Structure formats: C-alpha cells, structure tokens
Amino acid sequence: MIIAIDGPSGSGKSSVSRAVARALGIGFLDTGAMYRALTWWCLDRGIDLADRDAVVAAASAMPLRQGSNPAHPTVLMDDVDISEAIRTTEVTTAVTAVATNPRVRPVLQRRQRNAMAAIARETGGVVAEGRDITTVVAPDADVRVLLTASEEARLRRRSTELHGQADAGSVAATRDQIVKRDAADSTMSQFTVAADGVTTVDTSDLDFDGSVAAVLAVVRRTAAAAP
C-alpha cells in the first residue's frame, strides 16, 4: 500500500505519518529530510546555495541513505548519521534556497520515487510525507491525504516544539519563521488545498491520537472501496 501525505509545517504531518506507518507495519519516507540533507551536504562541502548548477549536481551525487523504520527513521550521508544535524536552525534557515531551486526538485523527486518503490518492496508499503507527494511525486498512490490545521493550531504546536511553550511571545517568534517558510514553499507546490482525489484531514481540533485515527480511517475507507 502506497500512502502519500502532504501538508504545511505544524500540521502534524511527520509524527502522524510515522504513527500511521507503524500501525500498518510498513515503511516511512520523510521527503523534507532529503531537502534538508542536500542543504547539509552543500553547507558541509562549501557549495554556494546560490550556485544553482552546483546544487543540482550535488542533488544527484550526494551519498544519501535513509532508514525507513518509522519507529526510528535515520538519515545517513555515507556512514555519518546526520539525523540531528539536519534539524539545526542553520539548515532550517537555508533549506528554502534549496527547495525553491526548480532544477533540484525533479532530481530529488526521482530519488523519492525510487526510495518509495524500494521501501514498498521491502516492507509491503510506504507512507511518504512532504509537500508535493500527493500531486507530483506519487499522484497515483493508493491513499492520498492532505493534513491541514488552522494557522493558530499550527503555530501553537510548533511553538511548543521549539520553545517548550505556546505563550504570546513564543507564538509571535514562531509565526515569523513558519509563515515565511510556508509562503516560500508554496511557490513550489500546492499544499494548502487538496488536489482532485486527495482527502483533507483537518487536525485543528484533534489531538495526536485523534489525528492518527482520522488518517487510518481514510486508509480503511479507501481499502474497502478498492476493487
């Protein structure tokens, strides 16, 4: 079973996708981690992110390996574990320049399709999450979900993640980062409105378990309707 999940930051996409994969006993692919890994690789090698040709070449050449276990997804470059290094503020700030490089996207999209096929062969299925999985990377996935949440709910969640709290000051600091990034990302892919055939799951009023249950319900409905 191939499951594609898209959504903006703070929608709960990553943690919900992992839990769905665990519940179904299949593998997981975080495609945002690929954009982050490429950013890390370029920064590490001194490749100028404004040098579009060099970044495109790096997208093909980087020795990236991702572990697909949803309980412990890993990101390795050669044999170096960069799972944590790709979450630093430095990478988070720089990743937009990579993700909005239009020639990088088809290269990573091809790597994503290959990774999804390999994981599905190995584990019987895959949950892949990102911004353009339901529309560009895997428009023919068995299940396609757009995970959304109100801006207020997304900011509250991200603020708690980043600052440990969601008071007015922390939310304001988070807003700057999140709203700017989503605006830049949405110039590349449409992840705020569901495309045809994509089911929207709004998690604004759901807790984590409720969000996972809502996505699993879509999976069950789709499986029941399959010929």
Residues near ligand DC, by CB under 6 A: 9, 31-32, 35-36, 95-96, 99, 130-133, 181, 185, 188
Report in angstroms how near the CB of residue 61 gets to ligand DC at its nearest. 19
**Tokens standing for 147?**
């995970």
Residue 87: DSSP 8-state: G
Contact by Cβ (8 Å): 188, 100: yes
Closer to ligand DC at the Cβ: 25 or 102? Answer: 102
Report in angstroms how near the CB of residue 128 gets to ligand DC at its nearest. 8
Closer to ligand DC at the Cβ: 208 or 220? Answer: 208
Closer to ligand DC at the Cβ: 89 or 227? Answer: 89
Taking CA 120 as the corner, what is the angle to CA 77 and CA 5, rounded to the nearest 5 degrees?
A: 80
Closer to ligand DC at the Cβ: 30 or 218? Answer: 30
Which one-letter amino acid corresponds to residue 113? R
Compute, in degrees rounded to 10, the torsion defined by CA atoms 57, 58, 59, 65: 140
- HEC states along 202-215? ECCCCCHHHHHHHH
Report in angstroms how near the CB of residue 31 gets to ligand DC at its nearest. 4
Contact by Cβ (8 Å): 148, 90: no
Report in angstroms how near the CB of residue 110 gets to ligand DC at its nearest. 13
Report in angstroms how near the CB of residue 220 gets to ligand DC at its nearest. 25
Q: Quote the CA–CA distance of 206 and 212 in Å, as a whole number.
A: 9
Closer to ligand DC at the Cβ: 19 or 227? Answer: 19
Closest by alpha carbon to 100, among 160, 191, 177, 184? 184
